[in-house]
Amino acid sequence: MAGATLSLDNPIFAQFLFYAGVVLIKTCLMSLLTARYRHKNKAFLTDEDCQSLKRRTGVDVKPSKNDPDVERVRGCHQNDLENVIPFVLLGLLYSLTDPNPWYAKMHFRIFTVARLFHSVAYLYPLPQPSRALGWFLGYIITLSMGVSVVRAGVM
């Protein structure tokens, strides 16, 4: 386990950093996309946001919690939070188990592609089971890393 360190000298950890960074940035960008749809559709959650819009534009709107465009983006963002955080935590631990470099890279890469595909399938929307397949593939990858971490901890 000499190579299992949290260092850029560890190629597995370096790969993990790249892919974890991609999915975390994508998750952060979902907040901006939510804000974009809230402004575009004038679908604000709070009275103060509605009042701010009225002061700036003269447009009077009431708080809205059910705009379909906003809710689609929020659903995608919520799904990211539920899946990316476990991936990052388990991926970090998995990086320390000295896994086979090729398998580790495939775990990280497949998860990232699956999450990006899931977001495209969610936001556009693509017919099911597209989104479900993207979610399931990422979930299986995270679960696989989790099992590897637990197995390494038992030995």
Phi-psi region of 81 (alpha: psi -120 to 50; beta: other; left: phi over 0): alpha
pLDDT for residue 46:
87
pLDDT for residue 3:
55
More confident residue, 55 or 138: 138
pLDDT at 2 over 60: no
Asked if residue 62 lies in contact with residue 50, where contact means CB atoms within 8 angstroms, the answer is yes
Q: Give the domains, in start order, of the chain with CATH numbers.
A: 12-31+67-150 (1.20.120.550)
- Residue entry with tokens 């896994």: 99
Cis peptide before 129 (omega within 30 of 0): yes
- Residue entry with tokens 């955080």: 85
Q: Which two tokens stand for residue 80?
A: 């990211």
pLDDT at 129 over 60: yes
The verdict on pTM exceeding 0.85 is yes
Asked if residue 139 lies in contact with residue 83, where contact means CB atoms within 8 angstroms, the answer is yes
Tens digit of each residue's pLDDT (9 = 90 or more) over 31-45? 999 999 998 999 888
Tens digit of each residue's pLDDT (9 = 90 or more) over 47-90? 898 888 888 888 888 888 899 999 999 999 999 999 999 999 99
Per mean pLDDT, which range of 43-47, 131-135, 147-151 is the poorest? 43-47
Q: What is the mean pLDDT of residues 5-21?
A: 93
